[in-house]
Amino acid sequence: MPMMRAALAGALLAACAPALAGTVTVITSFPKDLTQAYKTAFEKTHPGITLEILNKNTVSGIAFVRETPEGQRPEVFWASAPDAFEVLGREKLLSPAADMANPQVPDKIGSYPINDPGGMYLGQALAGYGIMYNTRYTKAHKLTPPAEWKDLLDPQWFGHLGMTAPSRSGTMHLTVETILQGEGWEDGWRTLLRMSGNARQMTERSFGVPDGVNNGQFGAGPVIDFFGLSSKYSKFPVEFVYPTETAVVPANIALIAGAKNTEEGKKFVAFTLSQAGQELLLEPKISRLPVLPYKDLAGKIPEGYPDPAQIAQRSKVHFDADLSQKRYYVVQALFDQTITFRLADLQAANKAIYDAEKTLGDKARSGKAAELLSQARALAWSPLIDARTAADPEFLAVFLRDKKDASTSKQITQLEGEWSSKARANYEQAVKLAREAAAL
């Protein structure tokens, strides 16, 4: 009987007590300096809710959401790449988010919508893409500080760049797409191949590039702006520049469909868009561009801080997220097979071409030597897929099918194998031709 009374009393107390708040799980590619600041501030304003951060690169994050059973998924997806949200939206893995939007946020940055017109995800910060470089490193190695992507193609930068792959980083995917959309498919890939051939390393994560520039492992590298700006405002010897070929697009936040704790997930999304959540972006270790207009953040903007409206105005790129989403997996696969997994071969081709140019001097401009070098450059720096193929809906559809399907997997594996073999053969032939030219 005493045991029954105790159990009954416990049940009554539990019924009368306020419901315990749950855990909100956020899957994100953002660094700890940013996520920890938001975790601390959010938990302080929402006592009882625990914010759990699940850090994955954007590509892995998409796969994690896709593979987690409905009812068990994290509540929030938070990342820089708008095309990643298009992928999740297409696969019905997002819940409507329009009711959490902050009405003070403008409709567009330049010509680009800040919030998804379909209401499935919201812009939480603005992001541009550019070049971060170490000022001490460039001075020590007598390198000309870069201002445009083309500057990183110069032979002087051979072995001095750090890069990562779009399959490992959503922000790198955006950088690749920005170059492809700014220059066109064929010329864009030439830029990417030449730049990658100058790289010392393809890092495992996007963080590896800014970390390497900060510590002097690399002289420069392509990064999303907040990596460069946060390092600069944290007093590292670095600078960050926006090339004229850049894109200012939203870094987004969304609710994941089939999550465990959606209502409290909404509270976190709303917090990130509030005045307090936007002001956190301006902390030196974070240094991101808010979506709230600067007039609403009067007195909070650091001196000399970039103005996203001005950057968008001078940019030559009008980013097309739909185009990027359609060829999302094709771009990743082509980059990996011709660059990431063939980096040593591509580096050898770049070096052979540069050595031949240096050896030949003026003779590299005409005659047989010039012809051989032209062939070597074409082999090393031309994409294996032409623009027409890259725009073919049937070709693109292959990479959008379920890769668990045996026939689809086989078809993709065969294509990737062909690209890898062709890239290797092209780079080896480029080395041979460049050396022939140098011997003339």
Residues 233-261: tens digit of each pLDDT: 899 999 999 999 998 989 999 999 999 99
Strand partners, 238: 134
Which of helix, strand or coil describes residue 190? Answer: helix
Distance CA 210, CA 217 (A): 10
What would you measure as the largest C-alpha separation in the chain, in angstroms?
105
Exposed/middle/buried for 229, CB within 10 Å: 0-12, 13-18, 19+?
Answer: buried
Name the least confident of 1-5, 62-66, 143-147, 397-401. 1-5
Distance CA 367, CA 371 (A): 6
* Side chain identity at residue 178, one-letter code: T
- Which is nearest to 245 in space by CA: 194, 195, 181? 181
What pLDDT, on the 0 to 100 scale, is given for residue 20?
42
DSSP 125-171: EEE-EEEEEEHHHHHHTTPPPP-SGGGGGSGGGTT-EEEE-TTT-HH
Q: Are 126 and 319 in contact (CB under 8 A)?
A: no
Strand partners, 241: 131
Residue 118 tokens read as 């379909």
Percent of the chain residues topping a pLDDT of 90: 78
Mean pLDDT confidence for 23-44:
95
Q: Which residue has the higher pLDDT, 137 or 313?
A: 137
What pLDDT, on the 0 to 100 scale, is given for residue 88?
95
Residues 271-297: tens digit of each pLDDT: 999 999 999 999 989 999 999 999 999
Q: How confident is the model at residue 299 (pLDDT cuts 50, 70, 90)?
A: confident
What pLDDT, on the 0 to 100 scale, is given for residue 321?
83
Q: Are 200 and 221 in contact (CB under 8 A)?
A: no
What pLDDT, on the 0 to 100 scale, is given for residue 139?
98
Residues 84-139: tens digit of each pLDDT: 898 899 999 999 999 999 999 999 998 889 999 999 999 999 989 999 999 999 99
What pLDDT, on the 0 to 100 scale, is given for residue 298?
82
Distance CA 289, CA 301 (A): 10
Instruction: Assess whether pLDDT exceeds 70 at residue 47.
Output: yes
* Side chain identity at residue 363, one-letter code: K
In the chain, where the domains are located:
22-125+251-311, 341-439
Residue 112 tokens read as 């680009």
What pLDDT, on the 0 to 100 scale, is given for residue 81?
81
- Which is nearest to 233 in space by CA: 132, 150, 159? 132
Q: Are 75 and 24 in contact (CB under 8 A)?
A: yes
Q: Are 431 and 349 in contact (CB under 8 A)?
A: yes
- Which is nearest to 251 in space by CA: 206, 295, 298, 313? 206
Residue 273 tokens read as 């868009």
What pLDDT, on the 0 to 100 scale, is given for residue 21?
55
Instruction: Assess whether pLDDT exceeds 50 at residue 18.
Output: no
Residues 183-192: tens digit of each pLDDT: 999 999 999 9
CA quadruple 355, 361, 365, 366: dihedral, nearest 10: -100
The three-state DSSP-derived secondary structure of 291-303 is CCCHHHHCCCCCC
What pLDDT, on the 0 to 100 scale, is given for residue 402?
80
Task: Give how far the C-alpha of residue 191 lies from the chain's centroid of Cα atoms, to the nearest Å.
Answer: 17
Tell me the backbone φ, ψ of residue 251, rounded to 5 degrees. Answer: -90, 130
| Average of per-residue pLDDT values in the chain | 92
User: CATH for 22-125+251-311, among 3.30.40.10, 3.30.960.10, 3.40.190.10, 3.60.15.10?
Assistant: 3.40.190.10
CA quadruple 324, 55, 40, 266: dihedral, nearest 10: 50
Q: Are strands 108-109 and 220-224 parallel, antiparallel or unpaired?
A: unpaired
Q: Are 163 and 194 in contact (CB under 8 A)?
A: no
Locus of tokens 């419901």: 19
Handedness of CA 259, 263, 264, 267 (dihedral sign): positive
